[in-house]
A and B are shown apart, each in its own frame.
Chain A
Amino acid sequence: QVQLAESGGALVRPGGSLRLSCAASGFTFRDFYMSWIRQSPGKGLEWISYINSDGRAISYADSVKGRFTISRDNTKNSLYLQMNSLRAEDTAVYYCVRGRSYWGQGTLVTVSS
């Protein structure tokens, strides 16, 4: 069955960096576009980035553009999110999502001094 396992969430200070990973299994990873979606504590859902199946098409939400970088390694069935210049408002659970269908369990990023 489809499994998406995020990792890398942590407590980080404002201005710091973090790299999230998502390990995919149970499907042919290279055939699907992937996204990162986040959910701030007690709040709604915010789409933040997309990457197509071969990694050549990428898009970001304005709130993270220039600070976050999405990438993938189809040989390792993995999706990544490099997060730089982190702010308090980036505090959220970050989900890895396959297409529009399957979501991972999420990893918590807390930005605080």
Chain B
Amino acid sequence: DIVMTQIPLSLSVTPGQPASISCKSSQSLLHSDGRTYLYWYLQKPGQSPQLLMYEVSNRFSGVPNRFSGSGSGTDFTLKVSRVEAEDVGVYYCMQSVQLPKTFGQGTKVEIK
């Protein structure tokens, strides 16, 4: 199975400041079809996870442009340019290049 490792596991951010989360996979997430199957989800308190980014750098419908994703191969990063109060929760990266799909441990983001 592909192991997904997130750093840091928790983050306390002042509103308006940037935040960055790293996700590393134990194998390349580049598929033979040329696409890289790395996704980012946010689970807000008391809610189910919601998709933020798909295939590394594509924002899902309705996701604010303060969120951006980058990376390739085995190293990926989610950045929030200016954190807002509504961004609190646990962020997960997920790979789906092969089954079983696997998730990172989660990064808990709180507001200072």
Chain A: residues with CB nearer than 8 A to chain B?
35, 37, 44-47, 50, 59, 61-62, 95, 100-106
Contacts and interface: CB of A to CB of B under 8 A. Distances in A.
Given A44-B105, A100-B96, A106-B48, 16 more contacts: A37-B101, A44-B92, A45-B94, A45-B103, A47-B99, A47-B102, A50-B99, A61-B100, A62-B100, A100-B51, A100-B94, A101-B54, A101-B60, A104-B48, A105-B47, A105-B48
Is the contact region of chain B dominated by helix, strand, or loop, or is it mixed? loop
Is the contact region of chain A dominated by helix, strand, or loop, or is it mixed? strand
Interface in B6-46: 39
Interface in B93-112: 94, 96, 99-106
A35 B101 CA distance: 10
Contacts of A102: 51
Nearest to A59: B99
Contacts of B94: 45, 100
